[in-house]
Copies of this chain bind each other. A is one copy, B any other.
Amino acid sequence: MQHCCPPDGREVDRAGEAVLFKALSDPHRLAIVAMLSAAADEICVCNFTSELPLNQPTVSHHLRILREAALVTCERRGTWVYYRLSSDAGARIASAVSSILSEAIAA
Protein backbone atom coordinates (compact mmCIF):
# COMPACT_ATOMS: atom_id res chain seq x y z
CA MET A 1 0.00 0.00 0.00
CA GLN A 2 1.39 3.33 -1.00
CA HIS A 3 1.51 6.40 1.16
CA CYS A 4 0.68 10.06 0.76
CA CYS A 5 3.56 11.85 2.43
CA PRO A 6 6.49 11.03 4.68
CA PRO A 7 5.47 10.99 8.33
CA ASP A 8 7.49 12.57 11.06
CA GLY A 9 6.68 11.54 14.59
CA ARG A 10 6.80 14.00 17.43
CA GLU A 11 5.01 13.57 20.72
CA VAL A 12 4.72 16.99 22.24
CA ASP A 13 2.33 17.89 25.01
CA ARG A 14 0.42 21.04 24.15
CA ALA A 15 -1.66 20.95 27.32
CA GLY A 16 -0.04 24.03 28.80
CA GLU A 17 -0.71 26.19 25.79
CA ALA A 18 -4.21 24.75 25.53
CA VAL A 19 -5.02 25.92 29.06
CA LEU A 20 -3.91 29.41 28.12
CA PHE A 21 -6.03 29.52 24.99
CA LYS A 22 -8.95 27.96 26.82
CA ALA A 23 -8.83 30.79 29.33
CA LEU A 24 -9.09 33.18 26.39
CA SER A 25 -11.84 31.28 24.63
CA ASP A 26 -14.77 33.06 26.25
CA PRO A 27 -15.96 36.49 25.05
CA HIS A 28 -16.57 37.72 28.58
CA ARG A 29 -13.12 36.70 29.74
CA LEU A 30 -11.66 38.43 26.69
CA ALA A 31 -13.60 41.53 27.68
CA ILE A 32 -12.12 41.33 31.17
CA VAL A 33 -8.60 40.96 29.84
CA ALA A 34 -9.15 43.77 27.36
CA MET A 35 -10.43 46.05 30.10
CA LEU A 36 -7.42 45.27 32.24
CA SER A 37 -5.04 45.80 29.37
CA ALA A 38 -6.67 49.05 28.32
CA ALA A 39 -6.65 50.33 31.87
CA ALA A 40 -3.01 49.35 32.29
CA ASP A 41 -3.88 49.34 35.94
CA GLU A 42 -5.83 47.37 38.47
CA ILE A 43 -9.61 47.19 38.24
CA CYS A 44 -12.04 46.51 41.05
CA VAL A 45 -14.32 43.49 40.75
CA CYS A 46 -17.35 45.71 41.16
CA ASN A 47 -16.39 47.38 37.89
CA PHE A 48 -16.53 44.09 36.01
CA THR A 49 -19.80 43.23 37.68
CA SER A 50 -21.34 46.53 36.67
CA GLU A 51 -20.03 46.63 33.13
CA LEU A 52 -20.54 43.03 32.07
CA PRO A 53 -23.97 41.54 31.40
CA LEU A 54 -23.30 38.90 34.02
CA ASN A 55 -24.26 38.31 37.60
CA GLN A 56 -21.69 38.62 40.30
CA PRO A 57 -21.05 34.88 40.80
CA THR A 58 -20.46 34.46 37.09
CA VAL A 59 -17.97 37.30 37.05
CA SER A 60 -16.21 35.71 40.00
CA HIS A 61 -16.14 32.43 38.10
CA HIS A 62 -14.46 33.97 35.08
CA LEU A 63 -11.97 35.82 37.24
CA ARG A 64 -11.06 32.55 38.89
CA ILE A 65 -10.34 30.92 35.54
CA LEU A 66 -8.12 33.82 34.53
CA ARG A 67 -6.43 33.60 37.93
CA GLU A 68 -5.78 29.88 37.58
CA ALA A 69 -4.35 30.48 34.14
CA ALA A 70 -2.04 32.99 35.82
CA LEU A 71 -3.17 35.66 33.41
CA VAL A 72 -4.32 37.95 36.20
CA THR A 73 -3.44 38.54 39.82
CA CYS A 74 -5.65 39.93 42.54
CA GLU A 75 -5.14 41.86 45.72
CA ARG A 76 -7.65 42.49 48.44
CA ARG A 77 -7.74 46.02 49.77
CA GLY A 78 -10.40 46.57 52.35
CA THR A 79 -13.74 45.38 51.13
CA TRP A 80 -12.74 45.40 47.52
CA VAL A 81 -10.60 43.09 45.45
CA TYR A 82 -8.54 44.55 42.65
CA TYR A 83 -7.39 42.60 39.63
CA ARG A 84 -4.56 43.39 37.28
CA LEU A 85 -2.98 41.69 34.30
CA SER A 86 -0.03 39.51 35.20
CA SER A 87 3.17 41.21 34.20
CA ASP A 88 4.10 38.30 31.97
CA ALA A 89 0.62 37.75 30.53
CA GLY A 90 1.48 39.15 27.14
CA ALA A 91 4.80 37.34 27.03
CA ARG A 92 3.22 34.01 27.94
CA ILE A 93 0.54 34.37 25.31
CA ALA A 94 3.04 35.37 22.66
CA SER A 95 5.25 32.49 23.70
CA ALA A 96 2.40 30.04 23.39
CA VAL A 97 1.51 31.33 19.95
CA SER A 98 5.05 31.19 18.66
CA SER A 99 5.52 27.78 20.23
CA ILE A 100 2.65 26.51 18.11
CA LEU A 101 3.39 28.43 14.97
CA SER A 102 7.14 27.85 15.19
CA GLU A 103 7.79 31.38 14.23
CA ALA A 104 9.10 34.26 16.27
CA ILE A 105 6.34 36.78 16.81
CA ALA A 106 7.54 38.66 19.84
CA ALA A 107 10.58 40.80 19.21
A residues near B (Cβ < 8 Å) are 3-5, 7-10, 12-15, 17-18, 21-22, 24-28, 30-31, 33-35, 37-39, 42-44, 46-47, 50-51, 80, 82, 89-90, 93-94, 97, 99-103, 105-107
The complex is assembled from copies of this chain, and their number is 2
Interface centre among A15, A18, A43 (most CB of B within 10 A): A18
Q: Assuming A18-B30, A30-B18, A102-B37, is B97 touching A50 (CB within 8 A)? A: no
Contact B7 A100 (CB under 8 A): no
Q: How far is the CA of A57 from the CA of B42 in the complex (A)?
A: 45
Give which listed residue, B33, B39, B47, B51, contacts A100 with CB less than 8 A.
Answer: B33
